Amino acid sequence: MRNLNIQLIRHATIKLQFNGQTILVDPMFSLKSTLAPVANAANECKNPLVDLPITVEELLSEINAIIITHSHRDHLDDRAIELLPKDLPVFCQREDEEKLISLGFKDVRTVWYETEWKGIRLIRTGGEHGTGELGKLMGPVSGFVLQAEDEPVVYVAGDTIWCSEVEEAIANYSPGVIVLNGGEAQYLTGDPITMGVKDIEKVHRASPSSNIVVVHMESWNHCLLTRRDLRQYIETNQLLDISVPDDGRILNF
């Protein structure tokens, strides 16, 4: 078994070392406070709320491929579009294919159901980016399961709340590592559009033997769940094997 590393860069941007490859997920490179806040939120802080913990040069070092779970600006921003190498394989959902090609990416690989690359099986999973009409307005989102021989299964859930698609992905693929987008992002009206404490607990209950990594926190103005509060909830409820890393931290599995 090779060494599986997951580095939280910031927000949903992670650097994943898997099966000898280095994969960048949901790149967002903007400098602190250079983007407009999400409207209709509880505060008007400019985004992102914090700077990158490492340089872009360090971030891009040894990258072999990119995964875009969906193309909202907090998962693919203008600075990332400008700085990303355009010849790397970019794996995406079918709804984002034309956009990514129009942005100049030369090797866009749409994952309808699954695909193979460098000994890695990439499987697209579904999700719900909110409930009701708000969830529909947020548009389609995807997660990705990564499988390889002699490697733990990794499930990157993407921007989703707890829903049947997440439950099915856990049941079907028995992931050893699950990356969840927390933060409990929400607007002034409507339910949260990413996972909060109850969603994260449901994932843990559905897959108690998985190592769960919660990202997507304290970097975007409508993400209201803090690391401190989530860590306290985890401790109080004795939810083992849930990590809430700070930006820049590398987790080894």
Instruction: Report which of 78, 121, 116, 115 is spatially closest to residue 93, judged by C-alpha positions.
Output: 115
Task: Work out the average pLDDT over 133-156.
Answer: 94
**Residues 185/152, Cβ–Cβ less than 8 Å:** no
C-alpha to C-alpha distance for 204 and 172, rounded to whole angstroms: 16
Q: Which CATH number is 24's domain given?
A: 3.60.15.10
Alpha helices in the chain (DSSP H): 56-60, 78-83, 97-102, 132-138, 164-173, 197-206, 227-236
**pLDDT at position 149:** 95
DSSP string, 94-109: GGGHHHHHHTT-S-EE
Task: Work out the average pLDDT over 127-146.
Answer: 92
Mean pLDDT, the chain, as a whole number? 96
> pTM for this structure?
0.97
Look up residue 100 and give its two tokens: 């990514």
Backbone CA torsion sign across 64, 67, 71, 77: negative
Residue 136 pLDDT exceeds 90: no
Calculate what percentage of the chain has a pLDDT beyond 90: 95
Domain that holds residue 73: 5-252
**pLDDT at position 12:** 98
Number of compact structural domains in the chain: 1
Residue 1 pLDDT exceeds 60: no
Look up residue 23 and give its two tokens: 């994969």
**pLDDT at position 252:** 95
**Residues 196/163, Cβ–Cβ less than 8 Å:** no
- 79-122, pLDDT tens digit by residue? 999 999 999 999 999 999 999 999 999 999 999 999 999 999 99
Residue 218 pLDDT exceeds 60: yes
- Residue 222's SS3 state is coil
C-alpha to C-alpha distance for 114 and 110, rounded to whole angstroms: 9
**pLDDT at position 239:** 94
In this prediction, residue 2 has a pLDDT band, given cuts at 50, 70 and 90, of low
